[in-house]
Amino acid sequence: MSELASLSLERYRSIAVAVVSGEIDLSNADELRNRIARWVINDDVALILDFTDISYTDSAGINLLFDLSARLREHGQGLCVILPADSQPRRTFAIVGVEERVPIFETAADAEAWAGGATTSRPPREGDVAREG
Amino acid sequence: MQSTSPQIADPAEQLRRLLRVADVALAHLSPEDLLDELLIRVREILDADTAAVLLLNKQTGELVATAAKGLEEEVEQGVRIPLGKGFAGRVAAERKPVVIGRVDHRNVLNPILREKGVSSLIGVPLLVRGEVLGVLHVGTLAPRTFTDADAELLQLVAERVALGLHVRLYEQERRMTETLQRTFLPESLPEVPGLRLTAKYLPATDPGIGGDWYDVFVLPSGAVALAMGDVSGHGLRAAALMGRIRNALRACALEVENPSEAVDRLDRLMELLDVTDIVTLLFGIVDTELSEFRFVSAGHVPPLLIKPDGQSSFADDDWGNPPLGIGHLHPFRENIVPLEAGTSLLLYTDGLVERRDESLSEGLERLRGVSAPMRLSPNPAEAIESAIRSLLDGREPADDIALLLVDLEAESTGIDLRIAADPAALVTVRRAFRRWLSDLGVPRRVSDDVITAVGEASANAVEHAYGPMGGWLHVLASCEVDTIQVTVCDGGRWRRRQSGRGRGSTLMRSVMDSVEIETSDAGTTVTMQRRLPGR
C-alpha cells in the first residue's frame, strides 16, 4: 500500500534475479538501480530483471536499464528483462529501441535459458577482480 | 507595645484604601507586574513591613514562595511549605483568614519570617471557584493586632490576585493546548486530485481538551490514508498521548502493505507507548484508482457512506475488532467498501452520536438522517456545522467531536492540477489521468500512451526546470469531441544537461499525434494532442 514499487532479490545458481513490481519513475529509479546493482556479485553470470508486474515506467526506468547494462557489460555479465508483450513498459521500451541493447523475454523460462547460456561466453574471472580494484 | 490598625474607624479612609486596590489602572498591568504592584500597595495601606504570595503546587502539595515585598529572600530561596503545616499551610488548609498576634516557633515554619523578626501576621487564601491557588500574607515587625476590617481588605486584595493568577494559568494552559493540538491534528489537509477533504474538530465545553484526533496523509503510492481516533480521558496527558499515537501510526503505515498490518503494528506498540487508556481507531486507505475504501475499525464507530442517490449507510464491519492496547487473540481484520464516483465518506468520533439518554444505534440513526446535505456540498464546512447543530439540538457537546468528510468528485470533466514540481508529484499526475481517462471510457492502450506522454513532460519539468529551490507544475487536460488535449507548464527553463531529456521528447512524439514545446523566459509549455479511435 505504501511503496510505489517493491523489489525482491533472488539468486538461482549463478543468476541474480530482481523482481520489481509497481511503477518506476524519477522518484524511485535511482534507489531501485542502486539496490539491484548491489545485489549482483562477481560470481553471477547474468542478471534477470523480472518486470512482469511493472505497470508503468517512464524514461527514468529506461535510464535504469541502460545504466545497469553498461555496468554489467564492463564485468562481462549479461542482462535481460522479462516483460509481457502488451504492456506500457514494453511499448515504451520499444519506442526508444531498448531491445537493440538488452534482450527482452516474455517468460521466465526463456530468460533463464538465455542467462544460463551467458555462462559460456563469460570472460575469465581474474579480469573482473582486477577491474573491481 | 501593641498597636492597632491606623484610622480604622474612619469610613472615608477605609474607602480610600479599597480604591487603592480596585484601581482600574492596574487592569493594564501584566499578571507579574500586577502581583508586584498589589503587594506594594497592600503593604502600604495596611502599614505592614512584609507582604508575600505563595502558590500551591498541586503535584507536590507544597506552597511555593512566588512574590514578596520586604521578604524578597523568601522568593530567592524558593521557600516551600507543605499544605497544612506552618502559618501559610494552615491558611491554605483552613481556606479562611488566619491572624497571629505574636509569632513564635511553634506556629511559624518559615525560617525567614523568624529571622526577619516578624512579630504579627495575617494571611488569607487565594481562592478561585472554591479552589485554593495559594496564600497571601502580610506581617509587621512590631507587634500588632490585625482587625476584621484588615482581614476583609486583605481578602479583597487576595480575590484580585487570585483572579489575575487564574487568568495567567488559564492563558498558559490554553497556549500549551494549542501547541499540543498542532501535534495531533494536521495543520492542513493534503490536496488530492479527485478528492475533497474537510475536517472539523469541536472540543467539549466542560472537561476541556479531549481525546479525539484525526490524520490524513498521502502514501508514496498516491493513495490517501485516513485516521480517526479517540483516546479515553481528557486534558494535556490525553493530548500528548494522541500525538504519540498519530506519529506511530504514520510510521507503521509507511512500512506495511495494508491497513490491518499497520493497525496490528500500532497495537503491538501500545505497550511501548505506555498507553493504559482505551483507544479506538478507524484507519483506512482511499484509493480513487481502485475506487475502494479499505479500512480497519478497532472498536470505533462505523464510517458512513453517503451515496449519489442520497441514500446513506454505515460501512459494514464484519469483524468487531476490539479497541487498541487491550490485547486480543486475532490480528485486526479489514473491510473493503466500493466507492463509486460522487460518494462521500464520513469518519467521526462517538461525541457526534452519543447522548446520555439514548442508545448508540439511535444516535447513529439520527446521524444517517441528517447526512445527505453534506455530500458534495458547495460549502462543506458550513454543511458539517449545520449537521452538528442539528445533532446537538441545542445541547452543549458533552464530549469532543471530530469529523472528516471525504467527497469523491462526481465525475472528472478534465484535469486542472497545480502542484509542487517534485518527483513525488509524478504519481499524483498519473493517478489523476488514469481516473479521468477511465471515466471517459478511453481504451487502455490509448490511456497508457497519454499517461506516458504526460509523465515525460511532467518529469522534464520536475527534473530540468528548476534549481534546488524547486517550483511548480501545472497540468491541464480536456477532451474536445474526439481529441484529448494536454498542456503541461512550468515556470523555469529546461536545462539541457542530461541525455535522458531527448529520450523523453522522443517518447512524447511517438505516443501523441502532436507535441509542441514552447520555451520563453516565463517558463516552458508543452501542448500535446491525441485523437481517440473510432469517434
- Average pLDDT of the segment spanning B69-77: 76
pLDDT, position B105:
64
pLDDT, position A130:
33
Residues spanned by the domain of A99 = 5-132
Pair B194, B376: CB distance under 8 Å:
no
pLDDT, position A133:
28
Q: What ipTM does the predicted assembly reach?
A: 0.85
Reported as a single tens digit per residue, the pLDDT across B408-428 is 987 767 888 888 888 989 999
User: Which parts of B421-471 are beta strand (E)?
Assistant: none
Question: CA of B419 to nearest chain A CA: how many angstroms apart?
Answer: 15
- Average pLDDT of the segment spanning B171-177: 69
Reported as a single tens digit per residue, the pLDDT across B423-475 is 989 999 999 999 899 888 899 999 999 999 999 999 998 988 787 777 889 99
Please count the CA atoms within 13 angstroms of the CA of A7 that sit on its side-chain side: 19
The label of the residue with cell 553498461 reads A70
The residue in chain A having the minimum alpha-carbon distance to the alpha carbon of residue B257 is A1
Q: Check CB contact under 8 Å for B459 and A3.
A: no
Look at residue B502 and tell me whether its pLDDT is greater than 80. Answer: no
What's the grid cell of residue B494?
529546461
Chain A contact for B253 (CB, 8 A cutoff) = yes
Q: Is the pTM of this model over 0.90?
A: no
Dihedral sign (CA A98, A102, A106, A108): negative
Non-local (6+) Cβ contacts of A107 within 8 A are: A82
**With 0-12 CB in 10 A as exposed, 13-18 as middle and 19+ as buried, what is B64?**
middle
What's the grid cell of residue A77?
555479465
Dist CA A26 CA B182 (whole Å): 33
The residue in chain A having the minimum alpha-carbon distance to the alpha carbon of residue B434 is A56
Residue B99, phi then psi, degrees to nearest 5? -120, 135
Look at residue B358 and tell me whether its pLDDT is greater than 70. Answer: yes
- In chain A, the largest separation of any two C-alpha atoms, in whole Å, equals 44
Domain ranges across chain B? 3-176, 185-408, 415-531
pLDDT < 70 stretches in chain A: 1-2, 118-133
Percentage, residues of chain B above pLDDT 90? 32
Q: Check CB contact under 8 Å for A59 and B510.
A: no
CATH of domain B3-176: 3.30.450.40
- Structural domains in chain A (count): 1
Q: Strand B472-480 and strand B415-420: pairing?
A: antiparallel
The Cβ of residue B307 has, within 10 Å, a number of other Cβ atoms equal to: 15
Q: Strand B144-145 and strand B195-202: pairing?
A: unpaired
pLDDT, position B73:
73
- For residue A121, the domain's CATH number is 3.30.750.24
pLDDT, position A24:
97
Dist CA B442 CA B447 (whole Å): 6
pLDDT, position B496:
58
Non-local (6+) Cβ contacts of B115 within 8 A are: none
pLDDT, position B148:
87
pLDDT, position B375:
92
The label of the residue with cell 511555593 reads B64
Question: CA of A46 to nearest chain B CA: how many angstroms apart?
Answer: 25
pLDDT, position B527:
96
pLDDT, position B158:
87
The Cβ of residue B77 has, within 10 Å, a number of other Cβ atoms equal to: 12
Per CATH, is B185-408 categorized as 3.60.40.10? yes
B221, B424, B426 ranked by CB distance to A2: nearest = B221
Contacts of A60 in chain B (CB under 8 A): 459, 500
Dist CA B415 CA B434 (whole Å): 11
Pair A75, A107: CB distance under 8 Å:
no
The Cβ of residue B511 has, within 10 Å, a number of other Cβ atoms equal to: 23
Look at residue B529 and tell me whether its pLDDT is greater than 60. Answer: yes
The residue in chain A having the minimum alpha-carbon distance to the alpha carbon of residue B454 is A58
Fold of B415-531: Heat Shock Protein 90 (3.30.565)
Contacts of B221 in chain A (CB under 8 A): 1-4, 22
User: Which parts of chain A are beta strand (E)?
Assistant: 5-12, 15-24, 46-57, 78-82, 104-105
- Average pLDDT of the segment spanning B119-136: 89
pLDDT-derived band at B123, boundaries 50, 70, 90:
very high
pLDDT, position A32:
96
B45 alpha carbon, distance to own chain's centre: 47
Contacts of B256 in chain A (CB under 8 A): 1-2
Look at residue B28 and tell me whether its pLDDT is greater than 50. Answer: yes
* B51, β-bridge pairs: B69, B138
pLDDT, position B16:
67
pLDDT, position A106:
95
Reported as a single tens digit per residue, the pLDDT across B221-273 is 888 999 999 988 766 777 778 888 888 999 999 888 789 999 999 998 887 77
Look at residue B392 and tell me whether its pLDDT is greater than 80. Answer: yes
